Structure 1
């Protein structure tokens, strides 16, 4: 009869106090003195379970990372598609966009950019007066020899926006003014609803240094002579104010003998100019005065 042969893979010895010494290199150290586990060369090809678990972990992790990168790539494509679609649409300046950082004007079909005073064609334009903002980025010209009117405005809006007791403004027609780069680099502020859009009437300033340039109306502009380059004192006399408006809101009394209107000139009552002997000082403290005349 044939004798049964033990499997060459593993031989488990029964638990007994006897000790066995295996000198073969294909042995594993037994967990106890009573167990010996010989390992055949074939068993070396079997991957331990811990390595199998780790292998599965790394496979899952690798798959997850690949899926994440794929998701990121898909999101990136979607974002690029949205940006391309947004770029294709005509842009207009929103109510919350000031342009104060870069001074850039949004491209779009905004007709006012091609009309006076923002049209850039100066071929038939006579440059009588030159003006520029404090930093020099905004440069413009006036073609009329003298302004239509010059006024000091004492309204509280001008006081706040100019940081001064009153505003010095010269009135011109829109066609009398040209900007070197059109509307580029300009910031707009619509005072009635406090929005930073080009909505008439609006205040115009340099988007970089914030120098006030003008007040733009529907037909006229009030440019501020402080930005005009005057050759001498005689040139500056051309811009000498004829009257004061909104004088009822003044913070300082002016003694120059010029008409002082409580609101708009010709559409409100005149205010009597106090003499120096009638007041303790020139600064108005508290509520504005309304000294009316019968003129």
Structure 2
């Protein structure tokens, strides 16, 4: 599969080849702060699976972490990020834009990561790892019963 995505103004394009290596919703404070979101919904790709074209983009390196993001210098749209493992991170909102706002099932998240650090609770059937995917899972607490009335 090959998917072509452009930034909002069309100055830059990105092609994704094959399938993502991981599909997740990340709740870690680093992703939330770096991307300015309450929860980052994204796919991770091997670097060789992503091609970027157009010359009107720049890369911002996080000042303290092994993260970067590449954005359009004209419209400011984030094209992709790079995580500490060197994988390309593509935001699901950008992918969904190519299909009138609908995220194809091939890109849908399969898990939540760093759920311990969440700022919003999410009710779905996906596994919610408190830390990374090799750590413990979140166990949903039953809703408390209301106090008996008169």
Query: What is the alpha-carbon distance in structure 2 between the residues aligned to residue 207 and residue 279 of structure 1?
Result: 53
Count of residue correspondences: 143
Query: What is the alpha-carbon distance in structure 2 between the residues aligned to residue 190 and residue 279 of structure 1?
Result: 48
2:92 corresponds to: 225
2:60 corresponds to: 189
Matched, 1:252 2:120: yes
**Which one of the candidate residues 129, 135, 139 is aligned to 2:13?**
139
Structure 1 unmatched ranges of 5 or more: 1-126, 195-199, 281-295
Q: CA deviation at 1:239?
A: 0.9
Structure 1 segment 118-129 matched on structure 2, within 5 A: 128-129=2-3
Q: CA deviation at 1:219?
A: 4.1
Structure 1 counterpart SS, 2:104? helix
Residues 210, 279 of structure 1: alpha-carbon distance in 2 compared, 3 angstrom cutoff: farther
TM-score, length of structure 1 as denominator length: 0.43
Q: 1:45-66, CA deviations, whole angstroms, 9 ceiling, x for partnerless residues? A: xxxxxxxxxxxxxxxxxxxxxx
Of Structure 1 and Structure 2, which has the larger fraction of its residues in helix? 1
Structure 1 segment 255-266 matched on structure 2, within 5 A: 255-266=123-134
Query: What is the alpha-carbon distance in structure 2 between the residues aligned to residue 279 and residue 258 of structure 1?
Result: 25
Q: 1:223-264, CA deviations, whole angstroms, 9 ceiling, x for partnerless residues? A: 11222213795x611111011111111111101121111222
Larger Rg belongs to = 1
Bigger relative contact order, structure 1 or 2 (CA pairs below 8 A, ≥6 apart): 2
Q: 1:174-205, CA deviations, whole angstroms, 9 ceiling, x for partnerless residues? A: 11111122xx32222222527xxxxx532222
1:214 corresponds to: 80
Q: CA deviation at 1:166?
A: 0.3
Q: 1:115-147, CA deviations, whole angstroms, 9 ceiling, x for partnerless residues? A: xxxxxxxxxxxx710112222222111111x32
Structure 2 unmatched ranges of 5 or more: none
**RMSD over aligned Cα atoms:** 2.7
Structure 2 counterpart SS, 1:271? coil
